[in-house]
Chain A
Amino acid sequence: MAQPKVLLLTGYGINCEEETAYAFEACGAQTAIVHVNDLIAAPKQLSDYQIFVVPGGFSYGDDTGSGNALANKMRHTLWPELMAFVAADHLVLGICNGFQVLVNLGLLPGDGDNSFGSRRVALIANRTARYECRWVNLLAAETDSVFLHGISSLSLPVAHGEGRFFAPPETLSELKQRRQIALRYVDAEIEPAQGSFPANPNGSIDDIAALSSVQGRIFGLMPHPERAFRLNQMPDWPERLALEPNSDWRQPGPGRVIFANAVKYFS
């Protein structure tokens, strides 16, 4: 299959679906933005797609815990179809609020052996108790993530009020053992942030910014790769232009490879 079909969820406050769809399209995928109620009304359509994306946003206003209300809704209405989807050789991506949804659904980190459904980790209010929109540096850890193939470190923006990763100690060591910790916050020198703000923008335990499923086909991350897709989205763009006036704004930013990897998986 040359061109994978991507379903991006929308509705109830999801708000990054258009730029995320653009990122997939620009990497050669075919995309459809589908309202969650339309998917619930016809859940079988999920099997027409190879990549399922829960984009970033503010589903239900983050009320009752970010991602919680949408995850509840999906668990009650879409669970069998979601299980069939992840059982196949498909990809799932959750960005920011989408990551929070995947965690609340129990799609990440999963229960091992390709079984899913328990909530085992949490993304709670930032250590600053404040929404943080800023650029961070990330280091990819050893995983089998399809999305992070070939990536060692990268800069991406975060924008969230509840991104503080928490897991009980036994879960944490299990995540390490199963190589599920996908990205960690690091400082400008790519040294561990060690919890310090602003390198670690939310106080995540062990600087964890992203998780992968054991098989590497489900990926959730707090930062927004679709916002670092082109060079002109980078924070140093105006200063880069001052030094290199002929820079092309269409050149790829560091986030692009995450989408390209997902599309390439099906080629």
Chain B
Amino acid sequence: MKKLITLLTILSLIIVGTVSAGAVTIEMQAMGNAPAQLHQAWMEEKAAEFKAETGITVEFNQISWGEEMQRIPLAITTGDGANAMQVGTTQNPFFAGTGGLLKIDMIDFGGEDAFMPANLKSTKLDGTSYGVPWFAETRVLFYNTEMFAEAGVENPPQTWEELVEVGEKIIETHGEGTAIAVAGTSAWDLIHNWAILLWSHGGEMLNADNTEALFNSEAGVAAMKYYVGLVDKGLASRACAEYNQPQVDAAFINGDVAMAVMGPWNIADIRDENPDLPYAVVEPPAGPAGRAAFSGGSNLVIRANASEEEVNAAKQWVQFLTKDEILIDYTKNLTNMLPATKSAFDDPYYETETMKVFKKALGYATAYPPLVEWAEIEQAIVRNFNNVLTDYVNGDYDENTAKKYLDQAAEQVNKILND
């Protein structure tokens, strides 16, 4: 009997213990910054560490970038979803505009000076921060050294013109469509690759005070024609018209194409899936107006529409994730992204050959205008970009197609800006 009572007491203690300790459970949501299983494992490991420190349980859940615009607004407006979330820097103002994000006082996260300025700027709407910078990314040209050597190409292309010359040599050796892969109509992020071309041709997205679209300029048209030309000249497979970015990445990682513009997270994919791939990276080729790069990245935001306990727990979790050693581990060993805190960026790892290229490109990279309306603007551009590619597939593409749809996109964007 005594034994039984002791047993029951111990049992009830355990139950009470777990209940009180596990009282707060929060959900963390991120995109595929690393191969899914590795990502999951890393998050679980860190969540366990975090739980040992604070008693808070963190559940991790990964969504795709393509789902971002549907899932995150639903979560923050309905109050049903993850507590801490990764958002793209370009969308942070839009999500902040819904009123569902927690206002962030940067003092709690090491002060404004701790972060890279580009990321920090993207968290702000009307002077208030609604997110904590997490990491930065930019896209550079990956190339397959073996395919280059086989085609007798010695140096990677430094300009877009050279890229075409190199590409022609490669298709002579390796067959049509093997020079480069580009994203097509299935890519939600179609705009990013074109943006690099636009800027390097001397174009701009919007005017300085963000009231008018400028991307339908001559530079924009030339950039679009160049993009379609890659497929038209046979450098990229015609099937690219139906690709999304992951298919582009897969084509390069499998060794089917010699070049692709990709992000740092692909380094981990290569390591995971085809470690023998002989590749190197080089800065994005220059256009008539010099080099340009895309500046993207991610911030961590906290859903305001939740109990105080959950909000505080999520805040602690974000503080934990942005601590130097955790952030360096995440960016260096898992995702190959570039950390958004200055102190983490000082790690010697970012002086390796590959990372130096990314770091350098990030130095002159351009970010999209931080506007609440940016999400809509991006969709309008992608929609019309799709029209261009669709016309190409249908055989309706001619000299004026690019201009026609860019003008149409500009008209729609101007309307969004002036509404």
Chain A bound to chain B:
no
Which A residues fall within an 8 A CB radius of B? none
